[in-house]
Structure 1
Amino acid sequence: MRSKYIIYLTLGFFLSLVSYHISFAAYSAYSSKLNSIIPASARKNSKLGVVVKSLISKKKIFEYNSDTLFIPASNQKVIVSTVALSLLKSNFRFKTAFYAGGEIKGGVLHGGLYVKGYADPTINTEALRLIAMQFKQKGLTQVNGDLYLDDSYFDDLNYPIGWKSEWRDDFYSPPISALSLNYNNLEVVAYPSKNRSRVVVTTDPRVPGLKITNSSYLRKKKNSIKAKWAEGREEIIVSGRLYTYSKGVRLKLPVKYPSLYFGRVLKHELEQQGITISGQVKFDTVPRWANIYHTYKSDRLDEVVGEYNKKSVNIIGENLIKTLGAEFIGTPGSWESGRKIISLFLKNIGIKNGFKIVDGSGLSLLNRLSPNALADVLEYAFQNKSVGLDFITSLPVAGIDGTLKKRFKDKEMKGRIVAKTGYLKNVRSLSGYVFTTTGDVLVFSILSNGLGHEAKKFQSDLLAELVSCCEG
């Protein structure tokens, strides 16, 4: 909230500068200066695209391949978060609904307990523990039936097109479901036994029914321990070396079956509160005759989007794009329906081309954006009173937080750049705003594919110039 307040004051200050004026000659001089720092390797082909525009004068200061389409990586999140805040609104909350499939008498539910997920990407083990405690406070002691999981709010596809198959073993690209838990990740925890004779392995959270095969061992050498899923089985294989005097390690893995993961951990948390479930964890849609028993709601969307953009949490974007499809076209939400909503929104605000939307995170190698399209969305967000502040404060701030915390820390740049980063192999992107020392507000987009180490240096060189634009 503090950063939002500070940026609110900053925006108010900049927007009050009605007398601000920079000559055309000054802009032209800066355009030539910026053109001179483009790497020679980028001039040989279309590896780099840039656009810079003043939001005060409405003039373009610089552009280079600004209509060329690039793989945007996480700059895709600029598009998805702007559309989500515009259509779902900042006060939107994801929900998870619990239904009683029978009569409750004397603390006993005579029937199944149903849980329907509406795509909350932020729900975690602590939230399930809180829910279990609330059930206990309501007097529930026993469920004479099964725990039913309803994930029908989304379709059955867990991955979008354009994700590499090998990414499915990485925590940042988990499967997507309307019932999510812990960003659909779990941690394998390994530590030496008390007598330092073996490696003890468990998971956080504990998942009943999950098999762990442990062949790891202790040695007075550097850790080489690793964990992976067994092929085609619900089993985690732990192998390698753990340092004898290690305090323990945590290895993060994406789960294979997110809804089932949610259900098993929920059942465990209920039982920890003394609420027994006689049946099993199963899948079924909530019957019409079931009665609502409890509803859990997430934080507001503006706070969720802050997590999404500052920390670049991919699952939030995938849940958002499918939620847009579910809310505005109908259930089950899908990547296809979400793409339609985003494309329609972009066209409605005047962006007719320069984009190909595939997923919500930017991981898909099939996404395409032009610098101009990104800059136009950033300009729209800045000028839209219902979206602007919530969107801008969701972005990383140079030298202060998020994925820009360790970048642009010089006194002249710190706090003046608010932007979304993007990174994939051979892809570097950075798009956002610059609050200049001269009182201007610039929107910029830098997209590069295949530029290598020069991409990051160019970003730094360009922004160092923009911070003082356009003196003289």
Structure 2
Amino acid sequence: MLKGKNKLGLIPINTLLFFVVLCLGTEVFATDKYSNLESKTQQLLKELRRVGIPSSSVGVSVTIIPSTIYPFEPVRYGFNSKKKFNPASTVKLFTSFYALSVLGSSYRFKTDFFIVGKRDLDSFDGDFYLKGRGDPKLVYEDLQEIVYAMRAKGYRKLRGNFIIDDSYFSEPEINAASFDGKKNKPYNVGPNAALVNFKAVELTVAKVKRKINISLKPQLADFTVVNNMRWVRGSCGKNKIFYKEFDGKLKVYGRFGTRCKRQRLYLSLSTHKRFAFGLFKQAWIDSGGQFDQVLIDGVVPKEAELVYSWTSPRSLELLIKDINTLSNNTMARTMFLTLSAGKGSPGTLEKSRRLLSSWFYDLGIGLGDVTIENGSGLSRLTKLTPTHIDTLLYEATFSKEFQVWKKSLALAGKEGTTVNRFRGMDVSGNAWLKTGSLDNVQAYAGYVLTETKRWISFAILVNHRVAERAKLPLDKFIDSLYRDAGPQLLVEGSKQVK
């Protein structure tokens, strides 16, 4: 290994700039139309056509990353690589890598608590403020720790008003039903500067002492569950569970199999502020405290006293792992707004889009070429090309945070959204991937460490009404990238990208 190589074993980008310029002046053409990368892509296209997906609905960009300083010739291959597609959740790569580049892997979010009022021994009467600062993973266990810390300061009775200040972002709460009509699905939860527990709970329907029991975890204060479930003979396969939220109540109805022990569902409930208020109140009561405050709107005034500041136990490294490996939409959307938030300047979608547009220019991506709506995969407006995504992945290999970045992606066949894929394939455990899946969209992007220890970055986008059928062909294509023991033939120049 040459001295001065980066985390991939490559020469740092500043050392290579001269050779990049030298090689860009010469077009490198593949003389054999059945070159390795082209033949693998043609095989993919053939398999996709068999399941009803035409080649015009597919875009591919692949780069074999060079490991020698001269000649510096990254192997590039593209098919429809400059055509715009809906990238689904692979767009999270832009949100998460920009955050990693700007904030750093050790960055931790804070949430502050203020008071304005009168304290008398263990009682407080006045305005109590929760000031959110964009933490995308402030969970109920954190709230419990916060309550314990407040109780340790001598607070037991809270009277007056409870105010959740989410002004760190300046965006209205989204209509959770606008994307697909499923407002209670956790993946549809929108961003909020004071997001708590993803605004979601676990609903359990269980057989307890011959009765149907319904519970929420965590519990929400002032929220009532109405149980209208009935028995039906049979196992869990007979279950039909429906729910309807209204006026601080959740009506659960349907049928439950007599031989079924339990079934769990995950639901988004209420508004961001009411949800956070309900969880905080429940945690306070569970701690043995007395809570007699009401939720009102407002922001922290200048004269407010800071009584507690919570620092997240999770670094940005762990947060982007959740965003990319688990493909958490709510975290990605919250992180996207955080990118443009600062002192006295709240985060907005438009400001975050402008920041990324400027960054794209630095990456060599044209300012007008990219459309990103909200930083997550839940969009029908976001448009990217395979080359855009592959360019980001390639440039990321020269980052000092590359190892953190790579590990934020799902290890193929082992983690997250890939855990049930690549079964029996050699690439399992040898690729780091971001998946994307929507109705009519399938996508893959990431890195492969091949059997000859070469690094490959790639992006594959499929937009078609039967895109769901593309999953196995895409898995097989990525497996073929791993198997490179045969000779590798070079690339295309610009004229070869179709």
Q: Same fold (TM over 0.5)?
A: yes
Is 1:463 aligned to residue 478 of structure 2?
yes
Which of 107, 111, 121 aligns to 1:106? It is 121
Report the CA distance shift for 1:191/1:407 in structure 2 as closer, same or farther (over 3 A).
closer
Letter of the structure 2 residue corresponding to residue 405 of structure 1: V
4+ runs deviating over 6 angstroms: 23-28
Distance 1:122 1:183 in 2: 7
Distance 1:11 1:25 in 2: 32
- Which residue of the partner structure matches residue 341 of structure 2? 326
SS of residue in 2 equivalent to 1:279: strand
- Which residue of the partner structure matches residue 210 of structure 1? 223
Letter of the structure 2 residue corresponding to residue 236 of structure 1: L
- Point out the more displaced range, 126-135 or 35-44: 35-44
Is 1:72 aligned to residue 67 of structure 2?
no
Which of 33, 53, 71 aligns to 2:63? It is 53
User: How many residues are treated as equivalent by the alignment?
Assistant: 455
Distance 1:193 1:399 in 2: 37
Distance 2:176 2:125 in 1: 43
Letter of the structure 1 residue corresponding to residue 226 of structure 2: T
Distance 1:260 1:157 in 2: 15
SS of residue in 2 equivalent to 1:383: coil
- Which residue of the partner structure matches residue 25 of structure 2? none
Is 1:448 aligned to residue 443 of structure 2?
no
Is 1:172 aligned to residue 182 of structure 2?
no
Which of 26, 31, 37 aligns to 2:37? It is 31
* Equivalent runs, 1:58-457 vs 2, <5 Å: 58-159=73-174, 164-194=179-209, 196=210, 198-222=211-235, 223-230=238-245, 233-298=247-312, 299-327=314-342, 331-352=345-366, 354-385=369-400, 387-410=401-424, 412-450=426-464, 452-457=467-472
Distance 1:13 1:350 in 2: 22
Distance 1:429 1:32 in 2: 19
Distance 1:369 1:68 in 2: 8
CA shift at 1:327, angstroms?
3.0
Distance 1:59 1:16 in 2: 13
Report the CA distance shift for 1:399/1:369 in structure 2 as closer, same or farther (over 3 A).
same
- Which residue of the partner structure matches residue 10 of structure 2? 15
Distance 1:13 1:347 in 2: 25
| 8 A contact 1:14–1:439 mirrored in 2 | no
| 8 A contact 1:100–1:113 mirrored in 2 | yes
Task: Spell out, residue by residue over 1:43-83, the C-alpha distance to the aligned partner (whole angstroms, 9 max, x if none).
Answer: 85520000111111542342100000111111011111111
- Point out the more displaced range, 300-309 or 34-43: 34-43
- Which residue of the partner structure matches residue 490 of structure 2? none
Distance 1:233 1:111 in 2: 27
Distance 1:12 1:260 in 2: 46
| 8 A contact 1:112–1:143 mirrored in 2 | no
- Which residue of the partner structure matches residue 24 of structure 2? none
Distance 1:229 1:343 in 2: 41
Point out where structure 2 has 5 or more consecutive residues left out of the alignment: 16-28, 67-71, 488-498
Distance 1:264 1:224 in 2: 30
Distance 1:246 1:465 in 2: 43
Distance 1:410 1:16 in 2: 34
| 8 A contact 1:227–1:251 mirrored in 2 | no
Task: Spell out, residue by residue over 1:66-115, the C-alpha distance to the aligned partner (whole angstroms, 9 max, x if none).
Answer: 00011111101111111111122222222211112134342222422211
- Which residue of the partner structure matches residue 4 of structure 1? none
Letter of the structure 2 residue corresponding to residue 82 of structure 1: F
Distance 1:161 1:276 in 2: 33
SS of residue in 1 equivalent to 2:293: coil
Distance 2:95 2:33 in 1: 31
Distance 2:189 2:304 in 1: 31
Letter of the structure 2 residue corresponding to residue 47 of structure 1: S
CA shift at 1:155, angstroms?
2.4
CA shift at 1:178, angstroms?
1.6
CA shift at 1:253, angstroms?
1.1
CA shift at 1:274, angstroms?
2.5
Aligned alpha-carbon RMSD (Å) = 2.8
Q: Percent identity?
A: 26
Distance 2:289 2:73 in 1: 62
Letter of the structure 2 residue corresponding to residue 221 of structure 1: G
Task: Spell out, residue by residue over 1:346-383, the C-alpha distance to the aligned partner (whole angstroms, 9 max, x if none).
Answer: 12222115421001211111111100000011111111
| 8 A contact 1:176–1:258 mirrored in 2 | no
When normalised by structure 1's length, the TM-score is 0.89
Distance 2:241 2:475 in 1: 36
| 8 A contact 1:37–1:461 mirrored in 2 | no
CA shift at 1:154, angstroms?
1.8
| 8 A contact 2:200–2:269 mirrored in 1 | yes
